Amino acid sequence: MKVTVLGAGAWGSAFASHLAAKHDTVLWARDAGLLTRIAEAHENTAYLPGVAIHPALRFEAHFAAALAHAGGAGDLCVIAAPVAGLRALCVAMRDAGAGLGTGLGTIPAQFIWLCKGFEAETQQLPHQVVADVLGDVLGTRAHCGALSGPSFAKEVAAGLPVALTIASASEACRDLTVQAFHHGAMRIYTGDDMVGVEVGGAVKNVLAIATGIADGLGLGLNARAALITRGLAEMTRLGVALGGRAETFTGLTGLGDLILTATGDLSRNRTVGMQLAAGLGLEAILGGLGHVAEGVRCARAVLQIARQHQVEMPISEAVCAVLFDGRAPRDAVGALLRRDATVETRSTD
């Protein structure tokens, strides 16, 4: 199988390295110099320092050529851009085909994306962004989906065990993704609830900021467990309201990803929360991360969508108050603790 990975950040490099162990894999990036440095060092020192990149991985600086590499019926294209860059990359894919006068010829028939979150400007999930840009071009031809689950790029690149879910309405896309990724220490599960999978991947980042705040304030493991559990309830309510299935949120892309992101030391979103609790300003925190913290980018969108659908999300509301309204982290936690008692479980029908 031929595979193209678009994006050479931490995610793109980690997954491309994994894929290269079994498939003819090409990695593309906007920065040709970055590709050159990775090729020479067999390491992405900018985004994955200290982790060796598989020597079989190849590099392609020309976008159209990278797309063409995965143009066959049994090939796969992997979009490894963050949500903020997904629309521009889809536009580039569409324009590459139109510019060459080949119509659909340079847009892969099968492609998946790794990004998690809501697009801040439009409040769209990734699959909605893809449909918005490429729907008219692709029609019913494309087999595409979201690959998600509890995973840190550094551990994926190091070959440590990981389990992910490919969500797609296309059985062909699900089967092809399993063929591409299910080897070594990586296991791939399949499903068709794309809304549920993507909502889980978005909301867990916001909830991880909340858990980081609690940990940074020294509120203890009891508080952490409560935030994760009640956060899962928030996530499920929103996901079901948007058309997802409740059972999806008890799986890898819901509870699994939430546990990892809320408790793992490699979590950028948890780090944001801990540093907010320590009194650092948001701008300084983001400047020091060096990577994207998707929870900050999509927190407002999560809360706005929840309000539109009359879904109660007090933890997400508290996070937004700290991030954007200048509320002190301890005050936000106090407001959560002062909420009236209520029943624990509610119907999501």
Q: What is the chain's pLDDT, residue by residue, as a tens digit (349 residues)?
A: 999 999 999 999 999 999 999 999 999 999 999 999 999 999 999 999 999 999 999 999 999 999 999 988 899 999 999 999 999 999 999 888 654 434 444 678 799 999 999 998 999 999 999 999 998 777 655 689 999 999 999 999 999 999 999 999 999 999 999 999 999 999 999 999 999 999 999 999 999 999 999 999 999 999 999 999 999 999 999 999 999 999 999 999 999 999 999 999 999 999 999 999 999 999 999 988 877 788 998 999 999 999 999 999 999 999 999 999 999 999 998 888 777 667 777 655 4
Q: How many CB atoms lie within 10 A of CB 184?
A: 13
Establish whether 204 is a catalytic residue: yes
Q: Which of 2, 22, 154, 204 is catalytic?
A: 204
Class of domain 2-192: alpha beta
3-state secondary structure 7-59: CCCHHHHHHHHHHHCCCEEEEECCCHHHHHHHHHHCECCCCCCCCECCCCCEE
pLDDT of res. 106:
62
pLDDT of res. 293:
83
Separation in Å, CA 223 to CA 211, 274, 333, 347: 8, 14, 10, 24
Q: Does domain 202-337 have CATH number 1.10.1040.10?
A: yes
pLDDT of res. 97:
65
pLDDT of res. 140:
53
Write the DSSP assignment of 76-137 as a string of letters: EEEE---HHHHHHHHHHHHHHHHHTT-TTTTS-SEEEE---S--TTT---HHHHHHHHHHHH
Q: Please tell me whether residue 183 adopts helix, strand or coil conformation.
A: coil
Domain ranges of the chain: 2-192, 202-337
Number of residues that this document lists for the chain: 349
Largest CA distance in the chain: 63
pLDDT of res. 108:
83
Separation in Å, CA 125 to CA 113, 122, 133, 239: 12, 9, 13, 11
pLDDT of res. 206:
97
State the Rg of the chain over Cα: 20
CA distance 195 to 198: 5
Q: Is the pTM value of this prediction over 0.85?
A: yes
